[in-house]
Amino acid sequence: MWSVSTAYFFIFAIISKISPCQTFNFAPRGISNVNTYLQSQKQPSNDKEKEKGPRVTPRRERPRISVLQYHDDWVCVNKPAGLTIHRGERTSRRQLLLSTLLKRQLARKVFPVHRLDHRTSGAILFAFDSETCGLLHKALTYDAGTKNPSAVEETAMTSEKNYIALLRGDWKRKFGEDEVVTVDKPLNVTGAIKEAMTEFRLLASSPGEEDSGPYSPAACSLVLCTPKTGRTHQIRRHAYSIGFPIIGDTQHGDSKINRWWRENRQLNRLFLHCLSLSLPPLSTFNDSRNKENIDCTAPLLPELVAVLEREDMEDLWKIAREKDPRLTLEQYDERGGTYGRNFRKEISSTVE
C-alpha cells in the first residue's frame, strides 16, 4: 500500500503532465542522469526537425546614424528614410527607432526637438537634456518679425527649414517663369483647422519623354520647400493641392506615377529630404548659452543622388546644383571631436 504522501505525489505528477520518474528522480537501472534520459526519449515528429537543430534568434543589424554636428548639449544627425523617431501607437515592439539607435550610439539620453515623417530623411535635432530641448524648440519656431516675450535679444535671425522634393509634372507648363510659389492654405490637424504656409522654389524641371505627350510620367520638378509653419504632412499636402504631388508619396500622391518611378528609376521611397536647418543662437532665450547661430546641412542620401544622376536626368541635376551648391555636398560623419559625456580631456603633465 502506498502512503498518503506518495499518492499525492503521483496525482500531482499526472495532473501536471510530469513523468513520475522525473518527479521522484527515478531512472532505469544504469541511467545516472534522469534529465538526459528523458530528453533521449523525445523523438522528433519529422525529419525536418532533425535538420533544423537548435533555434537561434538572428541578430538585428543596427545601422550607424551619420552625425552632422555634435555639441556639448545637442546633436544634429542625418536621419535615414524608413526610421521612426520615437515609439507611438502604430509602432511595433521590434521596430527600430531613431531615438533608441542614437542613444546606443552616443551612450547618452536624447530628446527629439522636432520630428520628421517616417519616410522623410534629412537633418534632425536632438538635445541631451530637457532644458536644451525647450530652448532649441523655441529657436526652431522663432520669428524675428513678431514679438516673442521669451526672447532676450530682438535682433536674432528668423529660423528656417529647407527641404528638397521631387514633384510630379513639369513646373514651367503650369507656372511659366514663376520660380517661387507660396501656398497659403489652412490644413485640418486632428479635427482643427490651422493656418499653414509653404514656399516652393523651383531648382530645375524636366518635361519628360517627348513621345509620351504633355503628361509624361517622367516629367518632374526638383524644388526647394520652405515651410513657414509646422503642420503634419504640410509639404506633402500643399504640394498635392497645387497639382504637383511628391513622387513616392503613397498617401497624397499618384500610385501609377509612383509605380512607374519605382520600376523605371529605382526610386523606392518618398523623395523628400530635409536639407538644412537655420536657427538663431540659444543666447536669444538664455544669456548663459552659446551666442553663435545654428546652421546644419544634411547632404542628400545616396539613393536620392542615384536617381538624379541618371543619364536621362543629367540636365536637371546640373541646373539644380548650379542654383544650390549644397546639393553637391558629400556624405560625412563626425565621429570624433565631441564634448559630450564620453569626452576625455587631455591633461598635460607639467615638469617642475
Catalogue the active-site residues.
Answer: 117
In the DSSP assignment, the letter for residue 208 is: -
Of the candidates 352, 167, 138, 141, which has an alpha carbon nearest to the alpha carbon of residue 271?
A: 167
The number of CA neighbours under 13 Å toward the Cβ of 309 is 9
Q: Is the separation of the CB atoms in 277 and 76 below 8 Å?
A: yes
* Cell numbers at 121, concatenated: 530623411
Q: Is the separation of the CB atoms in 236 and 272 below 8 Å?
A: yes
Where are any strands of DSSP class E within 238-337? 272-279, 294-297
**d(C-alpha 107, C-alpha 341), whole Å:** 8
Helix locations, 266-310, DSSP H? 302-308
Angle at 28 between CA 24 and CA 30, to 5 degrees: 125
Strands 121-127 and 272-279: parallel
Hey, is 203 helix, strand or coil?
strand
E strand or H helix at 187: strand 187-189
Q: Is the separation of the CB atoms in 235 and 225 below 8 Å?
A: yes
Hey, is 240 helix, strand or coil?
helix
The number of CA neighbours under 13 Å toward the Cβ of 10 is 6
Hey, is 58 helix, strand or coil?
coil
Count CB atoms within 10 A of the CB of residue 268: 13
Residue with cell 528522480: 25
